[in-house]
């Protein structure tokens, strides 16, 4: 087995790695995936090629839109989207237990 496949198997077998598959689809917390998002998540999980439908071939920075590049490029927007999504989810949860929670604007 190649080192990449070995590492992937280790990550997939970690405790909680499959919890997103059994979580309740709560729209208010962003846990509701449409068909495309679910297919993308499965492709990322199993290192499959993402569908090229509705996807640009090049990032706005000029590099090819590979999975790794899209998840790390600060110009492409995915890093900001992930940050804002997590920020919103944590902020909403904190608002339920802390009365002085302020969520930074995007």
Q: In this predicted model, what pLDDT tens digit does every residue of 57-90 receive, in sequence order?
A: 788 888 887 777 877 888 876 777 778 888 888 9
Q: Taking a C-beta distance cutoff of 8 angstroms, is the pair 88, 94 a contact?
A: no
Residues with Cβ within 8 Å of residue 67, at least 6 apart in sequence = 43, 44, 50
- Give per-residue pLDDT as tens, 4-39: 888 888 888 889 888 888 888 888 877 888 888 888
Q: What confidence score (pLDDT) does residue 53 get?
A: 60
Tokens 């997590």 found at: 86
Q: What confidence score (pLDDT) does residue 54 get?
A: 63
Q: What confidence score (pLDDT) does residue 97 get?
A: 93
Can you read off the two tokens belonging to residue 97? Answer: 């237990």
Q: What confidence score (pLDDT) does residue 73 get?
A: 83
């Amino acid at each position: 087995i190649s080192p990449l496949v070995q590492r992937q198997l280790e990550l997939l077998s970690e405790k909680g790695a499959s919890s997103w598959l059994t979580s309740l689809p709560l729209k208010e917390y962003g846990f509701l995936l449409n068909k495309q998002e679910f297919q993308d998540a499965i492709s990322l999980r199993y290192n499959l090629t993402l569908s090229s439908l509705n996807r640009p071939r090049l990032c706005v920075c000029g590099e090819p839109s590979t999975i790794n590049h899209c998840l790390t490029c600060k110009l492409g927007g995915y890093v900001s989207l992930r940050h804002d999504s997590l920020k919103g989810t944590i902020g909403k949860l904190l608002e339920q237990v802390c009365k002085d929670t302020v969520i930074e604007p995007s």
